[in-house]
Amino acid sequence: MQAYFSDKTVLITGAAGFIGSHLVDQLLKFGATVIGVDNFITGRHVNLQHLANNSHFTLIEADVSQPVASYLSQEQLESLGLVLHFASPASPPAYQNKPIETYLVNSSGTHNLLSALQANNPDCRLLFASTSEVYGDPLVHPQTEDYFGNVNPNGERSCYDEAKRLGETICGVFQRYYQMDVRIVRIFNTYGPRMRFDDGRILPNFINQALERKPLTVYGEGKQTRSYCFVDDLVRGILLLASGAELSGETVNLGNPEEYTVLETAVLVQKIINGSVAADDILFHDLPKDDPTRRKPDISKATELLDFTPIVDFRTGLEQTIAYFESPESKILD
């Protein structure tokens, strides 16, 4: 895998985000030259500040939903060997706060990138970051790539869910009609260092509440399930998919298939941080609309095509994530 990236120029959109910044680091370790683009709606400068003097990394502050010529020179565009399109708010509070920006970057942004490549650099490979949210509140369990999903097209989460589904459609059109090398990764719940303090998803919420010795907020009865993948495992899977031969047109789930209820998750976080769980440490609220009741990836395809299996166990990953949330860096929301 490393040999594929060595001496290659890679564009990463959303480079200052949680996953994007980890991809930047790993690609630089592999010897790639990286151009990162981010408009910092949810990305953070602190995630990339350690690369300020790295001659193999260029950071461009720009809106990826705009035409590519507005942020890349012709020379930069023609130099690309790979595009990792990861620009988008990803947590429900973030994309519900920026719904237009969310649907534009996943639709117009994807179309603009592929159009520019098709016209100027058609041999460049593109990997689109989709999401398990395309399955909505699934009626099949676990979710395989051939499941079409159960999504509310006009719900509170649709600006993200449906934008990702449209992004996948756009990728398919360019792959089929223009024979471009386009791949899609459907990312399931991911956690780890560099998640935003105010991310709003389950693990940052639980960790912040436990660190502040506040009751942990559980929605419904906490019986809904999630599967959590540590960011190092996810990044490895993404780069395996990006570098693999003869994978054009493939859509692959990436995540950890170990399943936990929300209540089990809250109890584990509380025990790691505070040592025990009392009755008043959990506060129950009504279940939000369109919140998936079960979420678990079937990663058989990833195992077969990429030889991918998660390595980091949940407790170990949680301990590293908690340590990050205890650091001053995690509180910087620039």
Q: Are 109 and 85 in contact (CB under 8 A)?
A: yes
C-alpha span between 242 and 244 (Å, rounded): 6
For tokens 């490979």, the residue is 125
Q: Are 8 and 84 in contact (CB under 8 A)?
A: no
The token duo for 302 is 């990833």
Q: Are 231 and 19 in contact (CB under 8 A)?
A: yes
Mind listing the domains of the chain with CATH numbers? 2-191+228-256+296-311 (3.40.50.720)
Q: Which of 4, 103, 135, 160 is catalytic?
A: 160
Q: Give the pLDDT confidence score for residue 251 in this predicted structure.
A: 98
**Number of other CB atoms surrounding residue 43 within 10 Å:** 26
Q: Are 296 and 144 in contact (CB under 8 A)?
A: no
Beta-strand runs (E) in 68-191: 82-85, 125-131, 182-187, 190-191
- What is the distance in angstroms between the CA of the first residue and the CA of the last residue of the chain? 34
Report strand pairing: 33-38 vs 57-61.
Answer: parallel
pTM of the model: 0.96
Encode the chain (334 residues) as per-residue pLDDT tens digits. 999 999 999 999 999 999 999 999 999 999 999 999 999 999 999 999 999 999 999 999 999 999 999 999 999 999 999 999 999 999 999 999 999 999 999 999 999 999 999 999 999 999 999 999 999 988 999 999 999 999 999 999 999 999 999 999 999 999 999 999 999 999 999 999 999 999 999 999 999 999 999 999 999 889 999 999 999 999 999 999 999 999 999 999 999 999 999 999 999 999 999 998 887 889 998 887 767 788 899 999 999 999 999 999 999 999 999 999 999 999 998 7
The token duo for 295 is 């979420």
Q: Are 318 and 268 in contact (CB under 8 A)?
A: yes
Query: Coil, helix or strand for 191?
Result: strand
The token duo for 187 is 């990312």
* Burial state string for 82-104 with b = 16 or more CB within 10 A and e = fewer than 16: bbbbbbbbbbbebbeebbebbbb
For tokens 């890349």, the residue is 72
Q: Give the pLDDT confidence score for residue 290 in this predicted structure.
A: 64
Q: Are 105 and 87 in contact (CB under 8 A)?
A: yes
Verify whether residue 191 is a known catalytic residue: no
Backbone angles phi, psi at 221, to 5 degrees: -95, 0
C-alpha span between 34 and 12 (Å, rounded): 7
